A and B are shown apart, each in its own frame.
Chain A
């Protein structure tokens, strides 16, 4: 083997920047899962009886479900009795009424992560809901948003203050029976973000939720619900990090999006959970269900994801195109390095007439990482004149990683068309040498080549985050060639 190949293979050794632990007193339920745990969560959150019942229904259904095994990832069996389902930073008073009452250590944590919550340092033009372990610690710019009738708050607050909206939409896209991890989430979810954009309103700023897992042995089960009413528009971003710990932690979230007539939701994710060390010890299991329902005609949902973290990523942000002329889009960059595994992709279900979907997936594998694209395009009989375009590109860095593609296509009418393009490339030693010969270091060369490969996806991200995503990609692959 030439030295260049060895060089390429050693380009992945960079410490995880967000691996610190915040020392806050927290209040946790003992590990274990039972109806009592669920009742305790519901009680702690002062939830109405209908929600407690909904959780219990989900739990009982979950008990009857087998753990899925069809995914192309390997991990030891999860002991669900060994997980803490509820952990929250101990509030000073009963509940913090404003950010001033939030433990300064928490605010510091978010500042360290580059997410200032205090009035002074807030991100201009971005409203942030910060979720620490299972609890929302603060939401910025709420008043300004409220003036336009936009509701942006933690899920728990929404349950208290807007119970009708929550009751109407919760589980309407991802029912509690949907899949194993969605059922588990429905039973034990603790917090998350809630957002409602009223009729005809264009949200004037980016909305963002920043998730942080801190406590050891705890699982994070948040629930996000975003509703765009007729003609409304919103762009939403989620980010996430976790401390470095030797044991694996489970993150099983559910995100539901609903667009009514002529409405648009753009949902972007920059996922940077702790990926584990180079030998595969520790890291987050990111088993997430994300689905959007284009309920109204001419509505549109766009998922953009940059997945660089997690020991295992297993998710398929999907669109149900129910309204006529609705559009679903999925743009994804998934990076695996060291021992990371990803099985990710999307589902586009065409039901309405003239519906369109676009899938652009870029998978990058380095180290001993395994990266799979799995996607379903389903065009039902009713979805006449529908169109799908899929493009799945994989890039390999080194010789010990893998890239896999599992496309599923079902078309039930003759007036629709489906296009699928796929490619696999290897970062060439030729490309790296060419860059070297122009004075660029191998690391810079790899970053440049990889960023070029992902360009079509990055251009879909909100401006500020596109820059972040590029940097993140650089860090994730640092050391994968050297």
Chain B
């Protein structure tokens, strides 16, 4: 088995006293793509939020090891600087803050953390141009304020573009397919596929199977009521698509 990046053991967590995750275990190794699927309210987005360190979630049990760190002990920005990236389901708008400026500040925080020299404006622009070609992105998005006035598709594309620039070790894609039409879905997925290497990993969270036609996972996990009830390869996703979540529930 490849070297693990993330090891989740028996993780329980909730919001305002309500238990949502009830003992999730999952190990993700280098070079792997994992998909977590599940019906609405099963705890998919909670899992993403807890891993990224969002406030307001109480971890009530279990542990998460990330590259040898106790992940739950790190602040959200420390997790990000250690290479954990969350592509948001609903990216927020930050009016007046230029996208390029924002991304440069983010990249330089990560570089500083790795004891690498910060990029100046020229070096950064060169990098951005290169990545833009890769992502087939129009450069006017970068001239605008962060996510301000972006369409749903533009927001998701901008998230993947940020991922391309920041080169995370572990990328968590939280329902990246929601609100995308089929063309946008193709562009976003092909971007994600291009960013896959032997050394990083992706955790794709989705409700529908259709995203997995474009981002092919090595492992599929089905999350129901805060527990992973079944794991398998990509065929599990197809089975789910054909038979629905009820089928899984009957077999648990």
A residues touching B (Cβ–Cβ < 8 Å)?
2-4, 7, 428-431, 433-442, 444, 448-449, 451-456
Contact = CB atoms under 8 A, between A and B. Distances in A.
Contacts of B75: 436
A165 B109 CA distance: 56
A323 to B, nearest CB: 34
A131 B28 CA distance: 66
Contacts of B110: 439
B97 A449 contact: yes
A438 B95 contact: no
B214 to A, nearest CB: 24
Contact of B76 (A2, A436, A453): A436
Nearest to A3: B55
A291 to B, nearest CB: 30
A440 B91 CA distance: 16
For A428, A435, A449, A455, which residue has the most chain B Cβ atoms within 10 angstroms?
Answer: A435
Given A438-B162, A439-B77, A444 B105 contact: yes
Contacts of B53: 436-437
B106 A439 contact: yes
B17 interface: no
A4 B55 contact: yes
Interface in B86-133: 86, 88, 91-92, 94-97, 102-103, 105-107, 109-110, 113
A452 B97 contact: yes
B81 interface: yes
A451 B96 contact: yes
A128 B162 CA distance: 45
B210 interface: no
B96 A438 contact: no
Majority secondary structure of chain A interface residues (helix, strand, loop or mixed): helix
Interface size of B as a range: 20 to 34
30 contacts: A3-B56, A429-B55, A433-B55, A435-B94, A435-B102, A435-B106, A436-B75, A436-B80, A437-B52, A437-B77, A437-B79, A437-B85, A437-B86, A437-B88, A438-B106, A438-B109, A439-B81, A439-B106, A439-B109, A439-B166, A440-B77, A441-B77, A444-B109, A448-B94, A448-B97, A449-B94, A451-B97, A452-B95, A452-B97, A455-B96
A96 to B, nearest CB: 45
Contacts of B190: none
A437 B109 CA distance: 11
B96 A454 contact: yes
Given A433-B54, A434-B94, 15 more contacts: A428-B92, A429-B55, A434-B91, A435-B106, A437-B79, A437-B85, A438-B103, A439-B81, A439-B106, A439-B109, A440-B77, A440-B106, A440-B109, A448-B105, A454-B96
Nearest to A438: B106
A442 B105 CA distance: 13
B19 interface: no
B10 interface: no
Contact of B77 (A436, A452, A453, A455): A436
A438 B97 contact: no
B174 to A, nearest CB: 11
A59 to B, nearest CB: 47
A433 B76 contact: yes
B145 interface: yes
For B88, B97, B105, B145, which residue has the most chain A Cβ atoms within 10 angstroms?
Answer: B97
A438 B80 contact: yes
Interface in B191-231: none
A427 to B, nearest CB: 10
Contacts of B97: 448-449, 451-452
Nearest to B86: A437
Contacts of B96: 451-456
B80 to A, nearest CB: 4
Nearest to A428: B92
Contacts of A441: 77, 109
B80 A437 contact: yes
A286 B79 CA distance: 45
A429 B113 CA distance: 24
Interface in B133-190: 145, 162, 166
4 closest Cβ pairs, A-B complex: A452-B96, A452-B97, A438-B106, A439-B109
Given A436-B80, A437-B80, A452-B97, A4 B56 contact: yes
Nearest to B83: A439
Contacts of A3: 55-56
A438 B91 CA distance: 12
Given A437-B86, A444-B105, A431 B56 contact: no
Contacts of B76: 433, 436-437
Given A437-B86, A439-B80, A439-B81, A452 B92 contact: no
